[in-house]
Amino acid sequence: MGAIFVARSVKFCKWASDVGLSKYVFKLGYSEGNPKDDVARGWAGENDWALVKQEKAEGLNEAQVVERVGAKIKMIDPKYYPRLRDAIGLFKVDPVKVENHILVARALKSEAESLAIKLTHADFAAYLIELAQR
């Protein structure tokens, strides 16, 4: 059984912020085995990738997962950034969309909390995984 996973690299996020992308850049992928092994190999010339979240999924492949999320969020094109080295599944995530997603989920659960939302990396990962499972 495979798993959808989201990973993040501090060094890559710093580089992405420096070149004007965003500091909210995540790698979305699918692994048939243990996602930690895939994350340990790294992407885009960085080796400090860390697994943020994973969720079991069956009957998918990485291309399908990336395509589903790519319908809602634009993937960073590796043709424009040679540093990516043909890595697919790198997404720049807008924090406003993640916050709205959380607010709508709370409203649907009838949780009328008006607490301020402080986004974490796990919130971004949950958002990406939910988009991939739709």
Structural domain range at position 19:
2-94+121-133
Inside any domain, residue 72: yes
21 located within any domain: yes
Asked if 28 and 12 touch (Cβ cutoff 8 Å), the reply is: no
Residue 127 phi/psi, 5° resolution? -65, -45
Entry pTM: 0.85
For 100-117, write each residue's pLDDT tens digit.
888 888 888 776 666 778
Q: Does 108 fall in a domain? A: no
Percent of the chain residues past pLDDT 90, beyond the cut: 16
The number of domains in the chain is 1
Q: Does 81 reside within a domain?
A: yes
Distance from C-alpha of 19 to C-alpha of 27, rounded to nearest angstrom: 17
- Would residue 105 count as lying in a domain? no
Per-residue pLDDT tens digits for 1-20:
788 899 998 988 898 898 88
